[in-house]
Amino acid sequence: MNRIDRHPILEVKGQADVPFYFKGKRLLARPGEVITSALFANGITVFGHHVKDGSPQGLFCANGQCAQCMVIADGIPVKGCMTQVKPGMQIYPCDELPELPEDDAPPSGFAEIRTLETDVLIVGGGPAGITAALELAPHGIDVIIVDDKHILGGKLVLQTHSFFGTVADCYAGTRGIDIARKLSEEVARFSNITVMLKSTAVGCFEDGKIGVVTDGAYLLIKPKRLLIASGARERALAFPGCDLPGVYGAGAFQTLVNRDLVKAANRLFVVGGGNVGLIAAYHAIQAGITVVGLVEALPQVGGYKVHQDKIKRLGVPVWTSHTVKRVEGSERVESVTIVQVDSEFRPVSGTERKFEADTVLVAVGLNPVSELHDQAKAFGMKTYCAGDALEIAEASAAIFSGRIVGRQIAQSLGKASEIPVEWFERLDILKRKPGNTLPYRIKVPSSKVFPIIRCVQEIPCDPCIHVCPKNMIEIRGDAIFGIPEVVGDECTGCMLCVAACPGLAISLVDLRSEEYGLVTVPFEVLDERVRVGEKVEAVDMDGNFVCEAVVDDVLMKKVYDRTQLVRLRVPHEEATRIAGFRVQNRLGELGVDDQTEADLGDDCIICRCERVTAGEIRKLIREGVRDLNQLKILRCGMGACGGKTCEPLIIQLFQQEGVDPDQVVRFTRRPLVAEVKLEMLAGEQRSEPDEATRIRNE
């Protein structure tokens, strides 16, 4: 079983006691678990084979945006990542085209499609959508929140780490999972907020109505105002082997590991050094997964330095100016080859490194999910957008974005709802990329007990200045975006700053003993060596070995919010250098069997849904095609994702062929942004699908 039974942050609840069947074999799922997670937990990562070429199909987005996880459940094709297991459910892989049963009977049981009216419809129950609702509800405004998951919170429910930002405005210092819970509890206090979970908004119409699939039925909602807060989807990356099961995005990985407590990998390799990739690597280690390494094509990671530092301290190698060259395997990922790139991002032949891995996590950026907003604008609806659907940023910015838009909507409905000018300034700060990195400085005061702050990059964060009982920490420069600094010499050794730092970038040094130094560091990983008297490899801020240290004490108090504080006994002269200790050693490399030029070969899959290769697309580009809709002759854009995944990759091919992207006509978007059963659109009411609508799986 690939379940996580212990976690340093998450509480493991519930037993796997729900019986279901995969290809006739009896398996067990946890109550409420989705099919893909239940299959992963039982060691099954291939869910079918593509009808075109028999290629194995596995999890990709875990967000309902594609159909890589399609299975046949009780005779009906469903997306496994969005469908919960029911007791006794019979699941079969999607292999070949199923035979459709005859259905000569005329349809019956049609009913008028129900229409709901509301003041405000919010599509998306993440941080932006929830905070907007909480600004609207006190004014007596009726709000409906539609979200396709079974719990509110969006990506917050996947985040075990403490958030950055400001304590006063956006829950800085609080873990994402706890922010989701707090916001959900606030929503429950308002009777004028209706939450529709496991519900998908599928399209906007010219009469001002929104089509929603919910609870096995289709209905229409007519709002006075519409807010799209549907978040973002992950960008795909094309390389040989990118279509193998085991290559997927950070959101899918965090869904398995942090929401469903499934050990999604044994040996993970991360592609992408933004905050998403860095944090996912950290979450993997928390789940007991070995992180083989991380590559970033840029000369430096794009995420916060403190995120990079903490995974390097744990023993994860980070290669900048590197990218993935290829992934290899038969039915799933078995190895990954990386390569150095030059200043023009061209692979440098002869620099290849090959590693054993069973999972490659792709975290190369996000694109807004804003199709409904575009539709609504085209029909002249009074529509708004917030969070990542408007602009990609951190969750703290999404919280502020939702608050501002919530008040703007309230104003448009004639309510007195002031928006402080400083809110816009605060939002601008929270959306900023990391700023300058300043020199690292250590001050050794006369008391010989003092914190060392290794947060040397300008990022929006301020929890450390609020917890010190002696007010010994101040932020230089911008009140939020500056660099924290220790001032004064009155440290009591309370260690609150060590525990409160979201970046785990503060240690406490005690040099009062003449025999040894004591260094207290934050630690959020399960490691059997973290016991009094055990020896560990102490490292500096960048993960470089400093010395062998002995665990002197392990502290865990409620006030520290599940962050262990590990006190290390070290040589006196090394105490100020130590920032943590390793939990994994660098892994060996496999032999590289070829050093051919790394390029996007003609065999590389670009359109995952329909298995269209780069070579097929290049041929039509060279023949003069400049309209992506003409590529539908190859079935590009005809799959479940509607071209949302492959379109950016196809545009890259045009660029490689010397075609200006501005000269390329993009895919025409479908009227509906997600699949809907025809019987639902027609208003046909069936509590359970009968044999006429079932697909046989003989």
Question: Same structural domain for residues 134 and 158?
Answer: yes
Q: How confident is the model at residue 693 (pLDDT cuts 50, 70, 90)?
A: very low
Question: Same structural domain for residues 228 and 376?
Answer: yes
Strands 193-196 and 70-73 turn out to be unpaired
Tell me if 626 is assigned to some domain.
Answer: no
Position 24, amino acid: G
Q: Determine the average pLDDT of the residues in 323-345.
A: 94
Question: Same structural domain for residues 191 and 274?
Answer: no
Question: Same structural domain for residues 424 and 345?
Answer: no
CATH of the domain at 51: 3.50.50.60
More confidently predicted of 325 and 588: 325
Question: Same structural domain for residues 352 and 248?
Answer: yes
Whether residue 104 is predicted with pLDDT greater than 70 in this model: the reply is no
Question: Same structural domain for residues 472 and 520?
Answer: yes
Whether residue 265 is predicted with pLDDT greater than 80 in this model: the reply is yes
What the block records as the tokens of 200 is 């998908």
Longest CA–CA separation in the chain, Å: 91
Question: Same structural domain for residues 397 and 324?
Answer: no
| Highest mean pLDDT pick, 168-177, 277-286, 469-478, 669-678 | 277-286
Q: How confident is the model at residue 697 (pLDDT cuts 50, 70, 90)?
A: very low
Q: Determine the average pLDDT of the residues in 283-309.
A: 96
**Global confidence as pTM:** 0.92
Please answer whether residues 314 and 290 qualify as being in contact, where contact means their C-beta atoms are separated by less than 8 angstroms.
no
Least confident of 11-20, 50-59, 255-264, 433-442: 433-442
Question: Same structural domain for residues 504 and 560?
Answer: yes
Tell me if 679 is assigned to some domain.
Answer: no
Closest CA to 242 of 516, 435, 58, 443: 58
Tell me if 502 is assigned to some domain.
Answer: yes
Whether residue 555 is predicted with pLDDT greater than 50 in this model: the reply is yes
Tell me if 103 is assigned to some domain.
Answer: no
Domain that holds residue 198: 115-232+368-431
What pLDDT score does 34 carry? 94
pLDDT digits (tens, 9 = 90+) for 216-236: 789 999 999 999 999 999 899
What pLDDT score does 595 carry? 54
What the block records as the tokens of 106 is 């005329």
**Rounded to 5°, angle at Cα 430 from 425 and 432:** 100
Whether residue 687 is predicted with pLDDT greater than 50 in this model: the reply is no
Q: What is the DSSP letter of 538?
A: E
Please answer whether residues 243 and 601 qualify as being in contact, where contact means their C-beta atoms are separated by less than 8 angstroms.
no
Mean pLDDT of the chain: 90
Determine the Cα–Cα distance for residues 505 and 503; give it in Å rounded to an integer.
5
> Which of 331, 362, 393 delimits the end of a domain?
362
How many structural domains is the chain composed of?
Answer: 3
Tell me if 411 is assigned to some domain.
Answer: yes
What the block records as the tokens of 33 is 């678990």
What pLDDT score does 694 carry? 31
> Which of 403, 431, 459 delimits the end of a domain?
431
Question: Same structural domain for residues 243 and 349?
Answer: yes
What pLDDT score does 488 carry? 83
What pLDDT score does 445 carry? 80
**Rounded to 5°, angle at Cα 223 from 220 and 226:** 110
What pLDDT score does 692 carry? 31
Whether residue 634 is predicted with pLDDT greater than 70 in this model: the reply is yes
What phi, psi does 614 have (nearest 5°)? -60, -40
Please answer whether residues 561 and 162 qualify as being in contact, where contact means their C-beta atoms are separated by less than 8 angstroms.
yes
What pLDDT score does 696 carry? 30
Tell me if 603 is assigned to some domain.
Answer: no
Tell me if 43 is assigned to some domain.
Answer: yes
Query: How far apart, in Å, are the Cα atoms of 157 and each of 125, 168, 284, 365?
Result: 11, 21, 16, 20
Q: Determine the average pLDDT of the residues in 620-646.
A: 93
Question: Same structural domain for residues 227 and 259?
Answer: no
Tell me if 595 is assigned to some domain.
Answer: no
Question: Same structural domain for residues 412 and 532?
Answer: no
Question: Same structural domain for residues 225 and 258?
Answer: no
